[in-house]
């Protein structure tokens, strides 16, 4: 078998003889598919998909526009309810976006479909979708490669969209979509138009708000073949957060296969579902972002789930809004999910201690210990923290040395080696204090003698 690099070099040299020369003599960095009869006709493809043809320097791609009217529903709510609000605290989720000016003027939601997931220079983004709000409606504009040679036209059209964007929003696009497109622009020796556009990746805010929900997902919420760990991907969030369910959707691993079938046959039936899948991804990204921002800007009582209240408490605490944070934690501490309750009680205890409400903080820490499984050893990190806080409280504030010693002993049984010395030091100090207190009590005269002297025999 010939060396792969030799084969690749041979293909590039052969195709370079077929490429059109630019005015300055440079060779256009496009290539043609090796298939009989060449790629499908762009005009015919555009007609079947309900789009138009965008042509630049002999390179053509198909442009498909779809508009979701403001009164249409996407899940539980209308499209107009997902509109952008410039007052959203977007920097709470990404500090790099702090101080942005008019970031809400043209927010572009972006998603691509590729010929594979392994990356590399040979991977193409054959479909790039962009979405933005227009007067309450939502427009999705998709750029589809009728053949690999149309990539130059696609990149030109995308550049025009990004030049007008005030913010780019993706779902996991920081590690996939944007790097893939950066590679394609670099391959064509063009500057990356997204380099100067602020980028907001929704994946991490979504995990912050709803990742803990995954631990309590009901089996009815999961699709065939889906596990609980998948509970924070976009399609799962559609169902749980938006109430939007896809029917006959194209699976991610089936997308490249359908595109190659289209290239071989010219039958747009193979890719119509792919375009629909891409449109749903873009619309849902906008809707999930809207829901995330509404939670961050709203009241704890408006949250639908305890995991949202817990996340809102953390966001409010981060913003210095201790009263709002405390209310959110109080609501989350009533959750049926032990993990969420424990996390909420932990943050409540910290806030109460900062407010010098030491007795209330001790009660919150005690509730953390009470939630631990009876007789379970070792204690978790959070339970050790609660036990340490209670040991400090009972030693220095409540002056209940024996209770403080019990908590310290519980810490000693489960402490890692690096913390053992500090625990032993605490126990030694407590034992000395208890001994001193015991000796002092033994020397104190009884205030209520059991017998009166006059009654002795």
| Residues 145 and 288 both lie in one domain | yes
| Residues 229 and 194 both lie in one domain | yes
Q: How far apart are alpha carbons 426 and 452 in whole angstroms?
A: 44
pLDDT-based confidence at residue 120 (cuts at 50, 70, 90) = low
In a domain, 454, yes or no: no
Tokens at 155, concatenated: 């990149």
Q: Domains in the chain: how many in total? A: 3
Q: What's residue 24's pLDDT?
A: 46
Q: By the 8 A CB rule, do 65 and 140 touch? A: yes
- Rg (C-alpha) for the chain, rounded Å, is 32
Residue 117 scores a pLDDT above 80? no
* Mean local confidence (pLDDT), 17-43: 54
Residue 20 scores a pLDDT above 60? no
In a domain, 6, yes or no: no
Residue 444 scores a pLDDT above 90? no
- Domain boundary residue among 294, 316, 337? 294
Residue 455 scores a pLDDT above 50? no
| Residues 279 and 427 both lie in one domain | no
- Domain boundary residue among 236, 267, 294? 294
In a domain, 2, yes or no: no
Place of tokens 């049984």: 413
**What is the CA angle 376-382-385, rounded to 5?**
105
pLDDT-based confidence at residue 33 (cuts at 50, 70, 90) = very low
Strands 137-144 and 59-68: antiparallel
Is the pLDDT higher at 448 or at 176? 176
CB atoms within 10 A of CB 11: 12
Residue 76 scores a pLDDT above 80? yes
| Residues 412 and 271 both lie in one domain | no
In a domain, 233, yes or no: yes
* Mean local confidence (pLDDT), 378-389: 86
In a domain, 442, yes or no: no
In a domain, 19, yes or no: no
| Residues 311 and 175 both lie in one domain | no
Tokens at 411, concatenated: 């810490």
Model pLDDT for residues 416-432, shown as the tens digit of each residue: 666 678 888 889 999 99
Q: What's residue 420's pLDDT?
A: 76
Q: How far apart are alpha carbons 127 and 143 in whole angstroms?
A: 6
In a domain, 1, yes or no: no
| Residues 93 and 184 both lie in one domain | yes
Is the pLDDT higher at 16 or at 288? 288
Model pLDDT for residues 187-241, shown as the tens digit of each residue: 999 999 999 999 999 999 999 999 987 554 444 444 444 444 456 899 999 999 9
CATH number, domain at 127?
3.30.420.10
| Residues 152 and 35 both lie in one domain | yes
Q: What is the mean pLDDT of the chain?
A: 85
Q: What's residue 373's pLDDT?
A: 58
Q: How far apart are alpha carbons 282 and 285 in whole angstroms?
A: 5
| Residues 99 and 222 both lie in one domain | yes
Q: What's residue 25's pLDDT?
A: 45
Model pLDDT for residues 289-321, shown as the tens digit of each residue: 999 999 999 999 999 999 999 999 999 999 999
* Mean local confidence (pLDDT), 346-369: 95
* Phi, psi (deg, nearest 5) at residue 107: -85, 120
Place of tokens 């490429």: 19
Q: How far apart are alpha carbons 308 and 300 in whole angstroms?
A: 8
- Domain boundary residue among 271, 294, 317? 294
Highest mean pLDDT among 5-9, 184-188, 370-374, 452-456: 184-188
User: Which residues neighbour 35 within 8 Å (Cβ) at sequence distance 6 or greater?
Assistant: 263, 264
Residue 77 scores a pLDDT above 90? yes
Highest mean pLDDT among 20-34, 37-51, 131-145, 439-453: 131-145
Q: What's residue 377's pLDDT?
A: 57
Q: What's residue 218's pLDDT?
A: 43
| Residues 244 and 327 both lie in one domain | no
Report which of 245, 316, 257 is spatially closest to residue 113, judged by C-alpha positions: 257
Residue 281 scores a pLDDT above 80? yes
| Residues 159 and 115 both lie in one domain | yes
Q: What's residue 128's pLDDT?
A: 98
161-170, 326-335, 367-376: segment of lowest average pLDDT: 367-376
pLDDT-based confidence at residue 167 (cuts at 50, 70, 90) = very high
* Mean local confidence (pLDDT), 177-182: 95
| Residues 118 and 59 both lie in one domain | yes
256-265, 322-331, 444-453: segment of lowest average pLDDT: 444-453
Q: How far apart are alpha carbons 270 and 277 in whole angstroms?
A: 12
Q: What's residue 28's pLDDT?
A: 41
| Residues 412 and 341 both lie in one domain | no
In a domain, 5, yes or no: no
Model pLDDT for residues 207-219, shown as the tens digit of each residue: 999 998 755 444 4
Which residue range forms the structural domain that includes residue 317? 300-361
């Amino acid at each position: 078998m010939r060396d792969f690099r030799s084969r690749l070099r041979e293909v590039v040299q052969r195709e370079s003889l077929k490429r059109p020369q630019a005015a300055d003599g440079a060779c256009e960095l496009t290539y043609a598919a090796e298939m009989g009869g060449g790629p499908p006709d762009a005009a015919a493809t555009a007609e079947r998909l309900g789009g138009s043809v965008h042509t630049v320097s002999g390179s053509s791609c198909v442009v498909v526009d779809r508009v979701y009217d403001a009164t249409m529903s996407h899940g539980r709510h209308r499209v107009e309810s997902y509109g952008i609000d410039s007052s959203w605290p977007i920097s709470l989720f990404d500090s790099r976006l702090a101080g942005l000016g008019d970031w809400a003027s043209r927010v572009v939601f972006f998603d691509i479909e590729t010929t594979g997931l392994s990356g590399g220079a040979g991977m193409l983004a054959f479909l790039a979708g962009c979405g933005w709000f227009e007067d309450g409606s939502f427009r999705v504009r998709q750029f589809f490669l009728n053949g690999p040679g149309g990539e130059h036209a696609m990149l030109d059209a995308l550049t025009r969209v990004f030049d007008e964007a005030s913010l780019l929003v993706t779902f996991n696009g920081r590690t996939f979509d944007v790097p893939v497109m950066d590679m394609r622009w670099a391959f064509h020796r063009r500057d990356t138009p997204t380099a100067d556009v602020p980028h907001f990746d929704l994946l991490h805010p979504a995990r912050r708000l709803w990742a803990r929900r995954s631990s309590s997902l009901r089996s009815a919420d999961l699709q065939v073949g889906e596990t609980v760990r998948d509970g924070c991907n976009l399609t799962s969030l559609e169902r749980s957060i938006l109430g939007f369910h896809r029917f006959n959707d194209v699976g991610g691993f089936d997308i490249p296969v359908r595109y190659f079938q289209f290239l071989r046959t010219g039958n747009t039936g193979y890719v119509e579902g792919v375009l629909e899948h891409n449109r749903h991804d873009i619309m849902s990204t906008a809707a999930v972002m809207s829901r995330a921002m509404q939670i961050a800007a709203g009241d704890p009582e408006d949250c639908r789930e305890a995991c949202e209240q817990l996340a809102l408490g953390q966001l409010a605490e981060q913003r210095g809004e201790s009263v709002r944070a405390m209310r959110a934690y109080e609501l989350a501490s009533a959750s049926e999910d032990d993990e969420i309750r424990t996390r909420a009680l932990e943050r409540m205890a910290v806030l109460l201690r900062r407010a010098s409400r030491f007795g209330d903080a001790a009660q919150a820490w005690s509730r953390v210990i009470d939630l631990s499984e009876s007789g379970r050893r070792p204690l978790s990190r959070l339970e050790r923290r609660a036990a340490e806080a209670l040991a400090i409280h009972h030693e220095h504030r409540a002056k209940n040395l024996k209770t403080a010693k019990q908590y310290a002993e519980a810490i000693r049984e489960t402490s890692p080696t690096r913390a053992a010395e500090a625990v032993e030091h605490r126990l030694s100090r407590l034992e000395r204090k208890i001994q001193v207190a015991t000796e002092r009590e033994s020397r104190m005269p009884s205030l209520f003698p059991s017998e009166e002297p006059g009654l002795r025999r």
